[in-house]
Amino acid sequence: MGKEQVVEDGIIIEANEIEIGLYGGSVDPISSGHDGPLGSVYFRQNGTNFTKTGASLFDWILNGGTGDIGLANKFDASISVLGNYTLSDKVTILVDTTSAAITITLPLAATFINKFFNIKWLAGVPNNKVTITGSSGELLDDSNTHNMGRIFDCLSVMSIGTGWIIF
């Protein structure tokens, strides 16, 4: 089981010796700077979200979001899925395996160079696994698929143009 640590403006989750932070606030972490583990996600109150890409306080990229309405009202950059799903414009995928095992298919890496996607196994039945696969045989690190181990696992991937790297 993973460990969780509550911090001032979010939570840091550690599982399988990997840390990822989930943060929220009203400021832009690119201009203001914000610390966090690589691959962390920052949800801004205006509906935009960012992914941590490097060691500097300012190494964040804008993933998307609405930018004009509150996070509590709507968040276009995320989606909850109950069945197989092919990623396109959503950057955060919340997976529920209550009904069945689920396969998440990544889009063609060449169309999303340097783009991050975050997949969180949020709920469901432990025996109904979550599998992430690349399009058209593209690899995730050195494998055709990645199987999430258990509920509450989180996976961040980034396109390198010809495939995907896992964080």
Q: Is the pTM of the predicted complex or chain greater than 0.85?
A: no
| Residue 34 pLDDT > 90 | no
Compute the average pLDDT of residues 125-145.
93
Domains of the chain by residue range: 3-65, 78-166
CA distance 48 to 66: 6
Please, which residues bridge with residue 7 across strands? Answer: 10
Q: Which of 7-11, 89-93, 134-138, 159-163 shows the lowest per-residue confidence on average (mean pLDDT)?
A: 7-11
Q: Do residues 129 and 148 lie in contact, with contact meaning Cβ atoms separated by under 8 Å? A: yes
Tell me the CATH class for 78-166: mainly beta
- The more confident residue out of 103 and 3 is 103
Q: Go through the chain and tell me how many residues it has.
A: 167
Q: How confident is the model at residue 163 (pLDDT cuts 50, 70, 90)?
A: very high
Q: What are phi and psi of 146, to 5 degrees?
A: -130, 125
Residues 6+ apart with CB under 8 A from 24: 9, 10, 42, 43, 44, 45, 71
Burial of residue 121, with CB atoms counted within 10 A of its CB: 0-12 exposed, 13-18 middle, 19 or more buried: buried
Q: Which of 36-50, 73-87, 125-139 shows the lowest per-residue confidence on average (mean pLDDT)?
A: 73-87
Compute the average pLDDT of residues 75-102.
80
3-state secondary structure of 92: strand
